């Protein structure tokens, strides 16, 4: 069942979650770009409001849109910066390729996790939520959040060291 959110409720969500959204965005982009990313996320939410399925809280959906917008911006910036690197800078390019391999390995390892472990791991380690916030957002006990994070990290370590 698809659920849409009216513009008035969306503005309430914006006012109520702006500070946290901006802090999340600042983990991915510069502080100067964080405001733009929050606005971009809400613009995307407004434009694609019909895609909100109601499986999670509306703010959780907007947070996901925000993270995706920040990741998109990072990809665009990396593409532009890689085009400006000339042949005299081969060593930095090699370092970038190693980081790319590391990121690909991490993505594969994250994809191999159970979805419940992956959600907690990303929310805690990437988005910076506390266990209390994760528990509240996912509707689970704090101890379950901690247990899932522990299991996820242990599995990631095994997968990445293999």
- Average pLDDT by stretches of 10, the chain with 162 residues: 54 82 85 85 80 77 84 68 48 52 75 88 82 89 94 89 74
pLDDT at 147: 95
Domains defined along the chain, listed by start: 1-84 (1.10.1740.10), 90-162 (1.10.10.10)
Closest alpha carbon to 66 in 89, 111, 34, 108: 34
Give tens-digit pLDDT for 5-35.
Answer: 555 466 777 788 888 889 888 888 888 888 8
pLDDT at 137: 85
């Amino acid at each position: 069942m698809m659920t849409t959110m009216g513009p008035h409720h969306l503005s309430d969500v914006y006012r109520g979650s702006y500070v946290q959204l901006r802090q999340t965005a600042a983990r991915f982009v510069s502080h100067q770009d964080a405001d733009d990313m929050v606005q971009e996320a809400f613009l995307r939410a407004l434009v694609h409001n019909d895609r909100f399925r109601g499986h999670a809280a509306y703010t959780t959906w907007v947070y996901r849109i925000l993270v995706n917008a920040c990741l998109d911006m990072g990809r665009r910036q990396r593409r532009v910066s890689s085009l400006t690197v000339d042949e005299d800078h081969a060593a930095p390019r090699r370092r970038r390729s190693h980081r790319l391999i590391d990121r690909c390995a991490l993505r594969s390892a994250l994809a191999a996790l159970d979805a419940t472990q992956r959600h907690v791991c990303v929310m805690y380690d990437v988005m910076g939520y506390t266990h209390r916030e994760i528990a509240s957002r996912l509707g689970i006990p704090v101890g379950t959040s901690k247990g899932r994070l522990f299991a996820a990290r242990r599995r990631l370590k095994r997968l990445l060291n293999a």
